[in-house]
Structure 1
Amino acid sequence: MKNLLDYTLEELVLWMKENNESSFRAKQIISWIYKGIKDFKDMRNIPKSLISKLEESFEISFPEIEEVYKSNIDGTEKFLLKFSDGNLIESVLMRYKHGNSICISTQVGCRMGCKFCASTIDGRVRNLTAGEILSEILVVQDYIGERISNVVLMGSGEPLDNYDNVMKFLELVCAEYGLNIGQRHITLSTCGIVPKIYELADKNLNITLAISLHAFSDEKRKEIMPIANKYTIEEILEACRYFINKTNRRVTFEYALVRGVNDTKEDAKALGKLLKGLLCHVNLIPVNEIKESLFKRSSKESIQDFSNVLKKLGIEVTVRREMGSDINAACGQLRRSYINTQKIGGE
């Protein structure tokens, strides 16, 4: 059965026409959905005859909140969500002065294989649909009773590996009849699937593109990111130049600092040289340590030195504030820990 959350207003209007119903009913039904209504019978202004048709054709499928972990350090909340097929994903709510931000997943698991990421350890299970991605926001927003105004596609999964569903999600989340979140408040993070960056650029959206770079040379990048065996850094940068020219939007380069791997002053100089002249911003990320990886985070001194070198070279840079460090807020950590606990408990 089709999940109504996957439908745009235009698609539902078309369904109404095909089923000899008034088009205006589509907007009424959509408005109920975005209020979190999960049962068609609770849609008070919809005729019973139409409700019967809807029940025959659609379901309203939201994930259940399996667990919620709240940081005692900064109030960050991590949600473990379970879909009707039993699959688990994670969403992270971060509270800032400028509003509530949510980091959402686009796939169950991930097949990109980045060595510092827990979500990719068991590979990709399946893609999320546009409605399932949207439902992460709706469920968390309903739970906290507050509006979420900023969205980051940086949870489990590679957004550009689920391109069509993610593009439809962007249409849904920005729609005036829905959550009406502006494109400038949305960031899409990718490890660098070059052909899809070009496709994204051609859509001329006002979202922020973030590239998980994490190295200044192909050789070093291959050590931590298998995608580097398919696309070179120069190919990624060329795609970024195309994106910038098309959208006039600054690109963010994410750089996870790993002790003894990519965090020296020489590394910083090489990165600065690589990015010089590009309309960009570097987001330095102290790597989240996971037990399945030998990678250790850089010292505070190394992080500061790295940042200072980039600034001296004229590169805009920030160090990402660590959020939810006491609740396993890094991608995939909570899901994997939960699954392992369930296996142990069942043995």
Structure 2
Amino acid sequence: MEQIWDNNDWLESANHWVTKQLKLQKINSIGRLKPVSGWGLGHVLKQPTEQGDVYFKATAKLPLFSNEALLSRYLHSINMPTPEVLAIEETHQYQLTKDFGGGLAEDSSATLWADAFEQFAQLQLDSLSYLKDFNKQGCLNRPISDVAAQLQLLIEHPQLQSLLDSEIILATEKAIAKLSHNIDELSQLEIGETLVHGDLHIENVAMSDDQCIFFDWSDACISHPFIDGTYLYRMPDSQDKTQIIDAYLKPWKQHYQPQQVEQAWQLCEHVCYAHQAISYASMMLHLSPEARVELNTAFQNALSASLRSNRQTVKSTTCVRSKFCGMVSGILHTLSLIQIKAGEAL
């Protein structure tokens, strides 16, 4: 799939567009656009101006990508904690934003991670009021009910099979039935769909006046909210990990029953990695050979993580169920004793 930056004159075109948009807002440019980063999924350029730097981004057009420019403008318009968008070009998926400080460091403190994920959980809950509008604003629907079938189709694709170890292919095919079962159980818990970032980690979070700013929405979709747990699930077990997960789940436990949230979190890990593997697979099928090389390892890691989490989910879900059943049995036993005592009193 050809991208805008595959054309030799795209930088000249981008520079012309940025200059025009800034003039419309009476902002004077200083010099030309300067490259910041770029690869198969998008390019970021910086434009110095008399009022400070602004940033230009062009995002790849891919089947499972949102129209990031359109969605980012909408998120800012409804006062979500996202960058201020100065202008967009919907067809080419250009966006121009004010400087928001850049992403936080991966080695940021656990307290900062926890605060960011708690704020993001609130963003997801706030998004419930706008779900009907997101599709019109470039955001895809990716329900978890589609994940198992999509993974099956992709694992059978000849181009992807040539990249994967035969053992991974066989193990994935065997795991799909369990994945479907997990999805059914997860759906029965009735945690509603929300806006999902799709690539939520601390480096896609900036800080402004003690408030987190969430950016890089190319993977955004409407789906189960815990799909955004990818980076938390894969952290090594530690007190820091527990602190961050507890912070993220805190707003959810105020919205749903705590036991319901805990069980959903346990079940979603396998689904989360499968969702991510599908995203990477789609990228690899539609990007240039050069870009695929950069994504191949990530795709295989996501599949492997899905297989590992599938084995762990069976154990952890059984454990959660056992605790839950034990708790219910205890409550019923207590109620029966109360009824007996009440009967004796009568």
TM range (shorter): under 0.3
The structure carrying a bigger strand percent of its residues is 1
TM-score by length of 2: 0.25
Kindly indicate whether structure 1 or structure 2 has the higher relative contact order, using CA contacts under 8 Å at least 6 residues apart.
2
TM-score by length of 1: 0.25
